[in-house]
Amino acid sequence: DAGVTQSPTHLIKTRGQQVTLRCSPKSGHDTVSWYQQALGQGPQFIFQYYEEEERQRGNFPDRFSGHQFPNYSSELNVNALLLGDSALYLCASSLLFSPQHFGDGTRLSIL
Amino acid sequence: ILNVEQSPQSLHVQEGDSTNFTCSFPSSNFYALHWYRWETAKSPEALFVMTLNGDEKKKGRISATLNTKEGYSYLYIKGSQPEDSATYLCAFRGGSASKIIFGSGTRLSIRP
């Protein structure tokens, strides 16, 4: 039973570019949450998707957007990348309100 | 702004010693508190979900307590082993909201 899988594992972009990160939830899970973890910080909640809709959103600008597909997989899109967007991006899946299972993350570096 | 704080930020413990650390969270509108264990280069692993004031949970040598009235939870590790070295994250969920707020974690290192 595959857990949460994220791709790619590492990514290097330059300022102003756009990026798409992908997440496949654990089998049986219908809810996907995205987190940004900067160095030395705890994960910061970006948003959560359930039934293909954004259900909750953290304090992130509109440059951060997402999508959930009918198979429950999800994408995180970030436009107009800034140096400060360099971080580990974690995806977590769950059944709504249950403990989350995390992926290994995508390390995004902005040059 | 809801704040979840963990202390200490880092901890160095001799193998065999017991240790504990704290998660503080808003005492109003509590729904659940989660503890996660995050080893380097791995995904965070769920340890406990705590929902009731006075809850005590145990998993092997690790246990946790919850006080929702005063807004804190303790994580205890008895007889620390090198494999306990990890960052321990707590996460607060308020009301029925699905948003989780994480603390910055306590980084635990066990000295052999």
Arithmetic mean of pLDDT, B73-82 = 96
For A100, the closest of B46, B96, B97 (CB atoms) is B46
Q: In terms of Cα–Cα distance, which of A60, A55, A102, A56 is closest to A78?
A: A60
Cβ within 8 Å, pair B102-A44: yes
**Which pLDDT score, from 0 to 100, does residue B5 have?**
92
pLDDT at A53 over 60: yes
Q: State both tokens at A67.
A: 């999508």
Cβ within 8 Å, pair B103-A58: no
pLDDT at B98 over 80: no
Contacts of A61 (CB under 8 A, 6+ apart): none
The listed range with the strongest mean pLDDT (A86-100, B27-41, B50-64) is: B50-64
Longest dimension (CA), chain B: 43
Cβ within 8 Å, pair A43-B102: yes
> How much is the mean pLDDT over chain A?
91
Q: How confident is the model at residue A1 (pLDDT cuts 50, 70, 90)?
A: low
Q: Most A CBs within 10 Å: which of B21, B51, B98, as the mutation test of the A interface? A: B98
pLDDT at A48 over 60: yes
Q: How far apart are CA B101 and CA B3, in angstroms?
A: 8
Contacts of B92 (CB under 8 A, 6+ apart): B2, B4, B23, B25, B26, B30, B32, B33, B34, B100, B101, B103
d(CA A47, nearest CA chain B) in Å: 8
Q: How confident is the model at residue A99 (pLDDT cuts 50, 70, 90)?
A: confident
